[in-house]
Structure 1
Amino acid sequence: MVNPSPLRSAPSRILAAARRAFSQFLALPLAIVVGFIVLNVVIYLADRVWSDGRSPAGLAWLGDLFGDHQAIGSLLSTLASSIVTVTSITFSLLLIAVQQGSAALTTQVTDQFMMRRANQLYFGYFVGLSVFVLLTLLTNSQFHRPVFGSMLALSMTMAALCMIIVMIYNTIDQMRPERIVQFIHHHVLHARVHDEKLLCRTRRTPRPYWILASTIRSPQSGYIVDVREARIRETVEAHAPGSVEVELLVPLGSRLAVGDPAFALRVAPHAVLAPILRDRIEEAVIGAVTFDDGRNLDRDASYGLHQLATIAWTATSTAKSNPHPGPAVIHALRDILSLWSPCEADPKEDPISPLVYADRTPTEATDALETIIIVASESMQAQTLSDALRTIAILLDHVSQPTAERLADVAKRAVSSLGEHVLTRQLEAALSDLAGALDRRGFTGVGAAIAEAAKQLGASLGKLNSRSTRVSETTGP
């Protein structure tokens, strides 16, 4: 068993946090700032021609326009103070807008705001421009007239002021629920590509009759964000080829505490694994795991599904009672399930891999749809429930069998919540479509239960009932 030692992972944890920060936000803004610094160096060299009292051919008017070094210093001082003031005020207003969006939906709004390339470009441009103007001001003296630098600083400041209009519009547009859901949906599909690389190098199920040799527990707390399968494979092949397998017991993105079970180490029925070899394999397995304090939407599809479910739950529940984000999330989940379903029927795996990793991400997409159905009963949003049930009906007509079985199970469990609703025409049509789709797919028992629930709910129409007694005990499902 690997001894818990949270302190030994501090350097790797800091490195992982830095890598996450750069991948999510810092890389592009810092690159733009560095680009402005390099540009300032180049312009400084070009401005040396003015220091000798010489003017480039045909550009003497430019030196006369900006004047001597005192006039240039006054101009640059004005530009520097103006760009810093405008930047601070504008970014403060934008952050307030993001905060309002977070309050209306969830804190996931902040994540998607930082990850957008356009926002990173804006932050990098304004900070880089401020640095450029200050550096140009620093080089201004009676021995050096930064005429070209002043011209560029003035031009780019004017462009920055015009850019503020575009930036404000983009920020407001990004706070719309459908835009937030669309962004997360895109990153979920992108992150799934990363998941599939690991799935192709692992197996889905453990070998039968293999004996559990030990349970490898987490030596630290945090999220499991990555597992280097190659390192585990090399260690197993070096010490016990063909007789040892390692199963990851939790999905990537899970949060573990110190001592939580993380891996199961199994050996072939007639193999003997020496304690020293077992310890080496356990050390290599833990060393192949990357822990972090946060999750990365670009590499963790289940995190994106969690964000979608959280947005739908928060907006649909009586905490917000907003019927708009729910259908947008439902549409995104329908698209995701449609794209992922074919791979469930024919999963990609490496049959000789020593690492076993169950693919739970498609199940999480189905669970997110189930969550929306549950919260729609709490807030009595019949339109959201109708969209969710219609989505199940649409998917049942073309998804693979594993996905269809989970959707049928979701439909069966949804019957328990129908008594909270009034049978609107929209809900009645959705229940009819769902019952028909279940029958066509072979889930006749569930289809009959849906049809009977709709019939019993319809019996309450025209009668005065409270929410808790809408479906009477004699006719309730």
Structure 2
Amino acid sequence: MQRLKTVPRRFFNAVRRSFRQFLALPLATVLCFVGLNALVYLGDRSWSGGQAPTGFRWLGNLLGDSAALGSLLTTVASSIITVTSITFSLLLIAVQQGAAALTAQVTDQFMARRTNQFYFGYFVGLSVFVLMTLVTNTSFHRPVFGTTLALLLTTSALCLIIVMIYNTIDQMRPAQIIQFIHGRVLEARAQDLRLLDATRRTSRPGWPVVAAMRAPESGYVVGIDLSRITKAVARQAKGAVEIEFDFAVGAYRAVQDPLFRVRCPPGVTLDADARALIVDTTMAALDFDEGRDLTHDAAYGLHQLATIAWTSVSTSKSNPSPGLSVIQALRDIIAQWSPGETEAREDATSCVVYRDAAPTVATDALEAVIVVASESIQPQTLAEAVTTIAILLRHVSQPTAERLADVAHRALSSLGEHVLTRQLEEALADLAEALCERGFSAISAAVSDATTALAVSLGRLNSRSTRVPGTTS
């Protein structure tokens, strides 16, 4: 029954997501062309009955009578539709090739770009404009102004094709794709911060759980209506209830996965009806959807960056260039987010407990790149990742530094797969120094020892599995 209740809501969320991700601007552009056609139609009424507006008789003589206008508009309409279909087909093939080279994330970023949305809307809207102008061409209505405008817009569209082709090819470059996702991740973080400002990070000590709720349906939780939850708690048990969520926005929940817990102070008994109302309201405040939205989900962008790096760096593609760009993007993201981890961004009076996940996802993405670099034996990729950790360790906040130090420690497990190139050796030495400066002496010593052990293999003929000899007892 619960599943049936959420079907209309999920459909609404899917429609809203499609408009937010792509459809809004193209449809708005088409509607602008329809409105423009209506305005031009009113202007063309001055030609009715064979009359010509003052100063425009030459334009009517140039374009001819209704028959000539009809023939011209028919040619323009068929041409613009043919050119549009061929051009879009070629562009989609280019996008498909880009997606095959990297991942399906290419399609997401292509659709999310405002310029691409405008191109689609412009060509479709122009086709509609020309067809509507053709329909209004009758024996008593000569669309002279409409035909003139159709010719001008068509000329602009043909010139725009050159720009559109260049932009599409440029957008398929890995560096451009990664840079776009990097920008969207930083923008989406603003949504996380608003949610963090209105909630708390830790639950009240000693408050027992009075209800533990699980997901009634599967899907991504793409939004939380905090005001709805806050009002329900204030009406039923103000100050005596807190809602602790077990997920971050963007997380996937299968049926019966934990969602949230309801807590009350010791000795406080929550009325059954009040508890049911709070639980139902909190459930209704969660938005489930079949897909994630990069615009409002920073963790999704980080997932896309990690996927691109993993696909390109691994032996599936063996292309280090996108991986290096991803590492550089992650370095910038971690550097910008790190100061916020020590800021007290919370509302101490809030009844909602919500934990921040995005900074951890960012360092996890960097760790994933290090792991896959060992599979493809790319020392330049590992060196860039190690250098990134060393640079960040020297200025990030303590929580970020602790995670990065842990990543460095875990990365030593894969170091034996590599050849100790000069670039990698310098990066490891810099990392050991940065770890020591930050107070992680034990990990710094482990990095130095691992580098020394790997250096033993230099000048010797070893296979991948025997590059670093094991200890003998």
Q: Same fold (TM over 0.5)?
A: yes
Q: Tell me how far 1:375 sits from its aligned partner.
A: 0.2
Instruction: Show the 5 A alignment for 1:73-152.
Output: 73-152=70-149
Residues 456 and 475, structure 1, Cα contact 8 Å, conserved in 2: no
* Aligned position for 2:295: 298
1:30 is matched by which residue type in structure 2? L
Which residue, 311, 314, 329 being the options, matches 1:317?
314
What is the alpha-carbon distance in structure 1 between the residues aligned to residue 381 and residue 9 of structure 2?
44
* Farther-moved stretch of structure 1 (443-452 vs 253-262): 253-262
Aligned residue for 2:320, secondary structure, equals: coil
In structure 2, the CA distance between the partners of 1:319 and 1:120, relative to structure 1 (3 Å rule), is same
Which residue, 173, 182, 193 being the options, matches 1:196?
193
Which residue, 444, 452, 473 being the options, matches 1:455?
452
What is the alpha-carbon distance in structure 2 between the residues aligned to residue 84 and residue 411 of structure 1?
56
**Partner deviation per Cα, 1:205-257 (whole Å, 9 max, x = no partner):** 11111101111111211110000111111111111111211111011111112
**Aligned pair 1:179/2:176, yes or no?**
yes
What is the alpha-carbon distance in structure 2 between the residues aligned to residue 459 and residue 346 of structure 1?
45
In structure 2, the CA distance between the partners of 1:93 and 1:234, relative to structure 1 (3 Å rule), is same
1:392 is matched by which residue type in structure 2? I
Which residue, 207, 212, 230 being the options, matches 1:233?
230
* Farther-moved stretch of structure 1 (274-283 vs 129-138): 274-283
**Aligned pair 1:380/2:373, yes or no?**
no
**Partner deviation per Cα, 1:17-45 (whole Å, 9 max, x = no partner):** 11111111011110110000010011111
**Partner deviation per Cα, 1:76-100 (whole Å, 9 max, x = no partner):** 0000000000000000000000000
**Aligned pair 1:56/2:53, yes or no?**
yes
* Aligned position for 2:279: 282
Q: Cα RMSD between the aligned structures?
A: 1.0
What is the alpha-carbon distance in structure 2 between the residues aligned to residue 215 and residue 168 of structure 1?
54
What is the alpha-carbon distance in structure 1 between the residues aligned to residue 202 and residue 402 of structure 2?
19
Which residue, 418, 422, 426 being the options, matches 2:415?
418
What is the alpha-carbon distance in structure 2 between the residues aligned to residue 423 and residue 296 of structure 1?
41
What is the alpha-carbon distance in structure 1 between the residues aligned to residue 358 and residue 4 of structure 2?
31
Residue identity (%): 62
TM-score (norm 2): 0.99
* Aligned position for 1:42: 39
Q: Tell me how far 1:279 sits from its aligned partner.
A: 1.0
**Aligned pair 1:346/2:349, yes or no?**
no
**Aligned pair 1:409/2:406, yes or no?**
yes
Aligned residue for 2:142, secondary structure, equals: coil
Aligned residue for 1:298, secondary structure, equals: coil
What is the alpha-carbon distance in structure 2 between the residues aligned to residue 310 and residue 109 of structure 1?
11
Instruction: Show the 5 A alignment for 1:21-40.
Output: 21-40=18-37
* Aligned position for 1:359: 356
What is the alpha-carbon distance in structure 2 between the residues aligned to residue 49 and residue 346 of structure 1?
67
Residues 76 and 150, structure 1, Cα contact 8 Å, conserved in 2: yes
Q: Tell me how far 1:362 sits from its aligned partner.
A: 0.2
Q: Tell me how far 1:57 sits from its aligned partner.
A: 1.6
* Aligned position for 1:308: 305
* Displacement over 4 Å in runs of 4+: none
Q: Tell me how far 1:5 sits from its aligned partner.
A: 1.5
Q: Which runs of 5+ in 1 are unaligned?
A: none
* Aligned position for 1:435: 432
Q: How many residues align?
A: 473
* Farther-moved stretch of structure 1 (229-238 vs 428-437): 229-238
What is the alpha-carbon distance in structure 2 between the residues aligned to residue 346 and residue 159 of structure 1?
51
**Partner deviation per Cα, 1:37-74 (whole Å, 9 max, x = no partner):** 01001111111111121112221110011001111101
What is the alpha-carbon distance in structure 2 between the residues aligned to residue 50 and residue 475 of structure 1?
99
What is the alpha-carbon distance in structure 1 between the residues aligned to residue 263 and residue 308 of structure 2?
40
Q: Tell me how far 1:347 sits from its aligned partner.
A: 3.3
Which residue, 144, 151, 156 being the options, matches 2:153?
156
Q: Tell me how far 1:475 sits from its aligned partner.
A: 8.2
Q: Tell me how far 1:474 sits from its aligned partner.
A: 2.5
What is the alpha-carbon distance in structure 1 between the residues aligned to residue 235 and residue 214 of structure 2?
22
Q: Tell me how far 1:264 sits from its aligned partner.
A: 1.0
**Partner deviation per Cα, 1:335-366 (whole Å, 9 max, x = no partner):** 11111101101130001111000101100000
* Aligned position for 1:269: 266
